[in-house]
Amino acid sequence: MLSFAKTARAMLLALLPTATACDESYIMTPLDPPLEDAKLVAYSFFQPGETWQVLVSRSAPLSGGDLDGVANATVDVYQGSTRVERLSFWTQNGQAWYRGRTAPVAGKTYTLKVSAPSMPALEGSGSAPIPVALRNVTVRLVRVERHDDVDYRTYEFDLDVPDPSGPSFFRLRLTESFETSGGTQQAPVVFCTTDPLLRQSLIDLEPGGQGSTCFSREGALFSGETFDGQTRRITVQTTTATMKRTDIHLERLSEDTYRFERTRRFNELLGDNPFTEPLDLYTNLRGGLGLFAGHADAQVNVGLPR
């Protein structure tokens, strides 16, 4: 990961959303206490229809190091005062995961409670957003350029994004599906735009041609504040020599997910592990660190004209 000058850090921090006085559940937490004061760290980015999964570890010291998995935690998911499920421990790649048999329902709010010996208990609530599908998608071939006996085709997409009334937050991604021995996999597709709505991300982007900005693996974050309750057309381009179809993902994010993603991406620019520097990483958990928040993916598969 890259480290940037203090001026760049100050500029990016100024662009991060700030909590209002009524946002009592939004906590900006100084990270990485000393080892003897380690806290629980829990991550669950859940979406409707997918069973619960929570990654549990303990925070790393300021001097650095890995986040140690916690294998003896008690992890419960509640809806209101009713416990939905106690999650079961399983390990993967040396990490401590807890998973369930049930899945969140769109539009519902859930509470995560995690406890473990010798550490403060952790608790926080998050919602599973109702997905929003693109209202209309059109694609056109705008140019073909030949380099080294290979034809590179540039496609332009018009995407009509309907915004529900009230606060709403999104992530736009393009992927290409391909088959492997392990099943269908998806690879990120780089796309570019001159639309200022998407360029507000200012993170995980690269300069593109003719004043455009390009996005890759992380996609483009944006909010619906400027077109509340209306439909907004977004135009993006991608160039390929081989791709015949692409998946366009419009992910609706909870506000917690959106705020976390903004600060996480910024922290990644400053170091390999955001828990090894005294930065403010957004969390909606009390008594610990991490995030319990939802997202909902609506995607459409589009063929590319030759």
DSSP string, 31-53: ----GGG--EEEEEEE-TTS--E
Report yes or no on 26 lying in a domain: yes
Strand boundaries in 117-242, DSSP class E: 119-127, 136-147, 150-162, 169-180, 183-188, 191-193, 205-207, 213-215, 220-223, 231-240
The verdict on 221 and 86 lying in the same domain is: no
What is the DSSP annotation of 157-189? EEEEEE--SS--EEEEEEEEEEEETTEEEEEE-
Single-letter code of the amino acid located at 247: D
**d(Cα 74, Cα 113) in Å, to the nearest integer?**
8
Determine the pLDDT at residue 22.
Answer: 39
CATH number, domain containing residue 82: 2.60.40.1930
Residues spanned by the domain of 235: 136-252
- Residue 283 zone, left/alpha/beta (φ > 0; ψ -120 to 50; rest): beta
What is the number of structural domains in the chain?
2
Report yes or no on 181 lying in a domain: yes
The verdict on 214 and 278 lying in the same domain is: no
Which tokens hold the place of 157? 């997409």
Split the chain (306 residues) into runs of 10 and give each run's mean pLDDT: 31 33 41 64 97 93 68 97 98 94 97 96 96 95 95 97 94 89 86 86 51 84 93 96 94 95 76 54 93 96 92
Report yes or no on 15 lying in a domain: yes
* Prediction pTM value: 0.79
The verdict on 142 and 72 lying in the same domain is: no
Report yes or no on 306 lying in a domain: no
Determine the pLDDT at residue 285.
Answer: 97
Determine the pLDDT at residue 8.
Answer: 31
The 3-state DSSP class for residue 267 equals: helix
The verdict on 230 and 278 lying in the same domain is: no
Report yes or no on 40 lying in a domain: yes
Determine the pLDDT at residue 210.
Answer: 59
The verdict on 22 and 120 lying in the same domain is: yes
The verdict on 11 and 71 lying in the same domain is: yes
The verdict on 106 and 141 lying in the same domain is: no
**Residue 211: phi, psi to the nearest 5?**
75, 15
Determine the pLDDT at residue 284.
Answer: 97
The verdict on 142 and 120 lying in the same domain is: no
The verdict on 203 and 285 lying in the same domain is: no
